[in-house]
Amino acid sequence: MSVENKTIVVAGAGGGMGKEIVRLLLADKANVVGCDINVEGLSEFQTEGNFLALQGDLLDEAVVKDMFDQANTTFGGINGLVNAAGIAQRATPIEEVSLKAWHKIMNLNMTMAFLTCREAVRYMKENKAGSIVNIGSVSTTRPRPGLQSYVASKGAIESFSKALALELAPDKINVNILHPGPCDTSMLEQFAKEGANIDEVKDSVFKQSVPLGELLTPIDIANSVKFLLSNEAKMITGTVMHVDGGRSV
Ligand SMILES: NC(=O)c1ccc[n+]([C@@H]2O[C@H](COP(=O)([O-])OP(=O)(O)OC[C@H]3O[C@@H](n4cnc5c(N)ncnc54)[C@H](O)[C@@H]3O)[C@@H](O)[C@H]2O)c1
């Protein structure tokens, strides 16, 4: 299972999962372009010759275009894209959710991936090859109360990924969706109700909801992302992969 010499753009590279994905891909000798609005956490990779950090808002069309252009110029092509950016929703009854909050969640969890996929595909089509992994959420299959906007955004990216898989199959571009279960990153605590004791919620709600009895960790997600980007997954497209300790069952 290798991604050696592939050039892979990771959107949301500065996040809990994104950073671990970057680390694993670099260890396997891929060229990695880490994009995030906040790249501070990526400084440890700067000494690696095969890593490029790009700071910017991935909801800005011009910024996204420029980032892919830089990735292509630096490494001579783009073979993979991972969409690991996004935001959580604090559990909130629907009547208290503002339209502004709804749009923000839909934009960051769906529109942003539309923009990065659209740009990546321009380069992948030239080579008639490529792999895209979009990170969704197990909440699409097993919703929790109060997360209606987040769940809708993740359902949208699942449908989008399947539609894109079919559209891009003639160009040999694979598109898959990976649904993580509750994963121990800073995002997890943002799903709890305002004022909740996060350590207590992690243990009594999130951990308890995983049949295998543990919270997921970023490396669990990174391992499966790497597989979906590898040559060994070349016949896998349009698939929904759950990495959730059984939460979706
Ligand atoms: N942590 C969990 O329990 C969990 C569970 C299921 C799914 N997910 C999904 O997994 C993905 C990664 O989650 P995580 O836990 O690593 O979250 P995280 O908050 O640690 O990382 C998200 C990253 O997205 C970046 N980002 C946000 N807006 C951006 C913008 N406009 N432009 C560029 N970058 C931007 C942030 O700066 C951050 O680095 C998300 O899509 C999330 O919805 C997380």
Q: Which residue's CA is the closest to the ligand 1 atom numbered 24?
A: 85
User: In angstroms, rounded to a whole number, what is the distance separating the alpha carbons of residues 7 and 77?
Assistant: 7
Q: In the prediction, which pLDDT does 46 show?
A: 87
| Residue 79, helix vs strand vs coil | coil
Q: In the prediction, which pLDDT does 108 show?
A: 98
Question: Is residue 129 scored above 90 in pLDDT?
Answer: yes
Q: In the prediction, which pLDDT does 196 show?
A: 85
**Cα 191 to middle of ligand 1, angstroms:** 12
Chain Cα centroid distance, residue 194: 25
Q: Is the dihedral of CA 188, 216, 108, 55 positive or negative?
A: positive
Reply yes or no on domain 7-243 having CATH 1.10.3720.10.
Answer: no
Question: Is residue 193 scored above 90 in pLDDT?
Answer: no
User: Tokens for 93?
Assistant: 């009854």
User: Tokens for 202?
Assistant: 């992690």
Inter-residue contact 91 to 144 (CB < 8 Å): yes
Indicate whether residue 17 lines ligand 1 (CB < 6 A): yes
Question: Is residue 194 scored above 90 in pLDDT?
Answer: no
User: Tokens for 95?
Assistant: 């009547």
User: Tokens for 140?
Assistant: 């699409």
Chain Cα centroid distance, residue 231: 20
**Cα 13 to middle of ligand 1, angstroms:** 9
- The pLDDT tens digits for 90-102 are 999 999 999 999 9
The C-alpha angle with vertex 60 and arms to 106 and 176, in degrees rounded to 5, equals 55
**Cα 14 to middle of ligand 1, angstroms:** 9
Q: In the prediction, which pLDDT does 192 show?
A: 80
CB-based contacts of 230: which residues, under 8 Å, 6+ apart?
Answer: 1, 2, 3
Best residue among 10, 17, 20 to mutate for probing ligand 1's pocket (most ligand atoms within 8 Å of CB) is 17
Residue 193 DSSP code: P
Q: In the prediction, which pLDDT does 1 show?
A: 84
The confidence band for 195, taking pLDDT boundaries of 50, 70 and 90, is: confident
The confidence band for 138, taking pLDDT boundaries of 50, 70 and 90, is: very high
- Listed by start position, the domains of the chain span 7-243
Q: Which residue's CA is the closest to the ligand 1 atom numbered 26?
A: 85
- The pLDDT tens digits for 47-58 are 888 999 999 999
Q: In the prediction, which pLDDT does 99 show?
A: 98
- The pLDDT tens digits for 34-90 are 999 999 999 999 888 899 999 999 999 999 999 999 999 999 999 999 999 999 999
Q: In the prediction, which pLDDT does 97 show?
A: 98
Q: Which atom of ligand 1 has the smallest separation from the CA of 87?
A: 43
H helix runs in the chain, sequence order: 16-27, 61-75, 99-106, 112-127, 148-168, 198-201, 218-229
User: Tokens for 131?
Assistant: 């792999």
Residue 134 β-bridge partners:
83, 177
Q: In the prediction, which pLDDT does 189 show?
A: 87
- The pLDDT tens digits for 141-173 are 999 999 999 999 999 999 999 999 999 999 999
Indicate whether residue 221 lines ligand 1 (CB < 6 A): no
- Buried-exposed string 102-139: b where 16+ CB fall within 10 A, e elsewhere: bebbbebbbebbbbbbebbbebbeeeebbbbbbbbbbb
Best residue among 185, 190, 201 to mutate for probing ligand 1's pocket (most ligand atoms within 8 Å of CB) is 185
- The pLDDT tens digits for 206-230 are 999 999 999 999 999 999 999 999 9
230 φ/ψ angles, rounded to the nearest 5 degrees: -80, 165
Longest Cα separation, the chain: 51
- Mean local confidence (pLDDT), 2-17: 97
**Cα 84 to middle of ligand 1, angstroms:** 6
Q: In the prediction, which pLDDT does 47 show?
A: 86
**Cα 239 to middle of ligand 1, angstroms:** 21
Indicate whether residue 84 lines ligand 1 (CB < 6 A): yes
